[in-house]
Structure 1
Amino acid sequence: MEFEQKVRPDELGGRVRAVRVAARMTQEVAATRLGMSRTTMVAIEAGKRAISSSELRKIAELFDVHESELLDVTTPMLDMAVEFRSNVTEAESADEVMVASMLNRMARSVVQLETLVGFPSSPLDMPGVMLSRDEPLEQQAEDAALALRARLGLGIGSIQDLNGLMESELGVRIFERALPSKVSGAKAFSDSAGGFVLLNAKHPNYRRRVTAAHELAHILLRQQGVSVHFANQSFDSREEKFCDVFACCLLMPAAAVRKKANELKKIVGKFTVRELLTMTLYFNVSMEALVRRMVALNLVPNGMYERLKADGFALKHQDIVREELGLSPEPPAFTARTMLLAMAAHKKELLSEQQIASMLELDLVSARRALEDHGESEHESALELVP
């Protein structure tokens, strides 16, 4: 058959195994649902048995993928192993599978876009981190954050566009899509393909920034594969604790937090909740994140966040201060590198709007609007760069 001639059995078997693992299904369960023996399933995944067209159709239906995804020889094999959590509810397990599969597909799509347009991503350009058991975890996180800031030339100032820095300066591809509310985000990494981060577009910007910094730390640690992270998830492992502390240190350097707090106190004459809220806007983080950072730096007493929460302080008070300071609710929209690649592929008629929407996990209307909004104006003229 045609697909048997184009796709090697070992490659097709590897893809079948990848979608099965991503669906969190054992070989035995998959074989039963496909109406075959487990030994047959093992042989298929090992590339020792050819797959018939009817079997391929059943496999695609069972794992909710298109047959073309399994057969397209031009699509890179990027299905990275998923690191599933053990203690999850049935609902969380389903969310984990869905988000991991989405990120795997989008990572594969972006690499395909880069290949089509002839503009591969730059190699991952960020220092790796190896955790030591001989040094305090908090200090290692602070040192890693300062090292990365030095690499980016940021000093101790606030980071206005973390996504843009991660994508343009570090070579990490960023996606923001609507995910189940309990999911904060996910990361994918492999030595060959680099890093990918998926953020929950349903969450407010300040939460997405902390999640992005947390996922970035996983890539700093060079953790292979895909992992999905949930809101209010307890961090038991040293790696997760490191990533949690690193995110705070990256967004709120100790020197900057102390400097800003003292500066506001000198200007106003005292440090009140209003000044605290002003600092949340300066660093673009939640009150909880800032207060817990200030507690760790011994700037405010333990229990401060719980006390403020009990007194009823919430986002509406932050909005009042934001309005008084004349700040916009969200930073300016960032034109993602991925969308630029999609525009280039569409302009060259390499991909249709429908194909781009499918690849980037967008509905057709959103994809069309994005292409139109970021498209080249007929009134724009090309500028020549001096060689």
Structure 2
Amino acid sequence: RLAKSDEIIRLAGFFGRTLHDLVRPDEPLVDLGEQLRAAAEKIQGPDQEALFQAIDDLQRLAEDYRELERIVHAPLRFNYPAQTTINARLDPAEFADAEAQRDRQRLGLGDQPVMNLRAMLEWDVGLRIFYLDLPSAVAGMYAYHAELGACLVVNHKHPPERRRVSMLHQYASMLVDRFKPHIAALARPTRKPASERFADAFALAFLLPATSIRQRFHNIVTSTNDFQVADLRRLAHFYFVSVESMAQRLEQLGLIAKGSWERISGANFAPREAAESGLRPQPINDQLYPERYQFLAVSAYERDEIGETNLAHFLRCDIVTAREIVANTLTSREVVEATGEERDVRLDFQKSLLAAAS
């Protein structure tokens, strides 16, 4: 016989799943968490339970992402770089610098700052990037599956500048060991393995291209005959990185003396006081799920493929907030050319722009 409604609800509770998980038509679930849990078991202490919870959250978000793609008939297209191997005869940091430059060229980024890094990695590379609350000592997690592709978790608790480095650290891990799940802890052994040194260097090199950094550094010194801490702060803000990351990169490139950051940080320097330096905050996207995930959920709702309850489930909020997200997503603030006045334009997500051109 068919299961009754109350029986389905009890089954969902018994298996630790949502009602939505049990009743939706779907292929067998993809398990991202098995090897991640094995890695988490090696991290002893109070942080382990929080890691297990984050792994479960990642599993369900990845499943929902795939379900939205199925509903809207919009599979994610992958544009991954080729895997690479770290040669033991090469310095991992120098090799990472070359690989970061090559990947920037592949993606058409040139050598200028990438402000919306998360969106670029999601749309142009095809990564699935989620922001979850991880233990403070953990920067992020990475897992790969043939159907889902690369799934990254970044610690939502960390500052935006740190999150950008964490994203690229996980991305670099995918370059050298695509099929191995990874949990990135901030506190690592004194002697890091070559893969970790590669990932650390790749992140800085991708965010701070050598040619661009040298040019701007030389411009500052040429115009002022000096390079002060204030210049370091402004340069870090321009590239949307922490002052520490910028100082480390300048040290790597031989533009300032080794140990400069230790001397600066030991002098009661407050690197996050951007407002007092006259610097505007950079735009931040700290949503739980990717921008594309939200667009898919709104599109499915607009097509009447899902109702409000499922919409709220996908968006991880209540129904009232889900309605607000739909309204904001479908509304664009535009300027009327004739008058210069601003007005809200309601967008029809289902309207084709190709039909009129044919």
Q: Structure 1 length normalisation: TM-score?
A: 0.76
1:82 partnered with 2:51: no
Q: Which residue in the other structure is 2:307 paired with?
A: 352
Distance 1:333 1:65, change over 3 A: closer
Distance 1:361 1:284, change over 3 A: same
Q: CA RMSD in A?
A: 3.0
Cα deviations across residues 301-355 of structure 1 (Å, max 9, x unaligned)?
A: 222112111111113444322x2x5x33435899811111011111122223332
Q: Structure 2 counterpart of 1:350, which letter?
A: E
Structure 1 residue corresponding to 2:86, chosen from 131, 135, 146: 131
Q: Which residue in the other structure is 1:284 paired with?
A: 240
Structure 2 residue corresponding to 1:113, chosen from 58, 68, 83: 68
Q: Which residue in the other structure is 1:22 paired with?
A: none
1:164 partnered with 2:119: yes
Distance 1:96 1:233, change over 3 A: farther
Distance 1:232 1:259, change over 3 A: farther
Q: Do the aligned residues in 2 keep the contact of 1:100 with 1:227 (CA within 8 Å)?
A: no
1:379 shift after superposition: 4.7
Structure 2 residue corresponding to 1:94, chosen from 35, 41, 49: 49
Name whichever of 145-154 and 167-176 sits farther off.
167-176
Q: Structure 2 counterpart of 1:339, which letter?
A: Q
Name the CA distance, whole Å, in 1 between partners of 2:321 and 2:270: 32
Q: Structure 2 counterpart of 1:79, which letter?
A: D
Q: Which residue in the other structure is 2:194 paired with?
A: 238
Distance 1:355 1:340, change over 3 A: same
Q: Do the aligned residues in 2 keep the contact of 1:186 with 1:227 (CA within 8 Å)?
A: yes
1:384 partnered with 2:349: no
Superposed counterparts of 1:293-372, under 5 Å: 293-321=249-277, 323=278, 325=279, 327-331=280-284, 336-362=291-317, 364=319, 366-372=321-327
Q: Which residue in the other structure is 1:34 paired with?
A: none
Q: Structure 2 counterpart of 1:295, which letter?
A: E
Name the CA distance, whole Å, in 1 between partners of 2:197 and 2:103: 18
Cα deviations across residues 253-278 of structure 1 (Å, max 9, x unaligned)?
A: 12222222111112222100011011
Cα deviations across residues 95-124 of structure 1 (Å, max 9, x unaligned)?
A: 221112211211111111101100111134
1:156 shift after superposition: 1.3
1:74 shift after superposition: 0.7
Superposed counterparts of 1:186-197, under 5 Å: 186-197=141-152
* Structure 1 unaligned regions, length at least 5: 4-52
1:281 shift after superposition: 0.7
Q: What percent identity do the matched residue pairs reach?
A: 24
Name the CA distance, whole Å, in 2 between partners of 1:379 and 1:156: 37
Distance 1:365 1:67, change over 3 A: closer
Q: Which residue in the other structure is 1:14 paired with?
A: none
Superposed counterparts of 1:253-264, under 5 Å: 253-264=209-220
Secondary structure of the residue that 1:216 maps to in structure 2? helix
* Structure 2 unaligned regions, length at least 5: 332-343
Q: Structure 2 counterpart of 1:249, which letter?
A: A
Q: Do the aligned residues in 2 keep the contact of 1:104 with 1:188 (CA within 8 Å)?
A: no
Name whichever of 266-275 and 297-306 sits farther off.
297-306
Superposed counterparts of 1:180-191, under 5 Å: 180-191=135-146
Q: Do the aligned residues in 2 keep the contact of 1:138 with 1:242 (CA within 8 Å)?
A: yes
Structure 2 residue corresponding to 1:65, chosen from 13, 17, 22: 17
Distance 1:156 1:354, change over 3 A: same
Secondary structure of the residue that 2:51 maps to in structure 1? helix
Q: Which residue in the other structure is 1:6 paired with?
A: none
Secondary structure of the residue that 2:131 maps to in structure 1? strand
Cα deviations across residues 43-75 of structure 1 (Å, max 9, x unaligned)?
A: xxxxxxxxxx99x949x64x7434764675515
Q: Structure 2 length normalisation: TM-score?
A: 0.81
Q: Which residue in the other structure is 2:338 paired with?
A: none
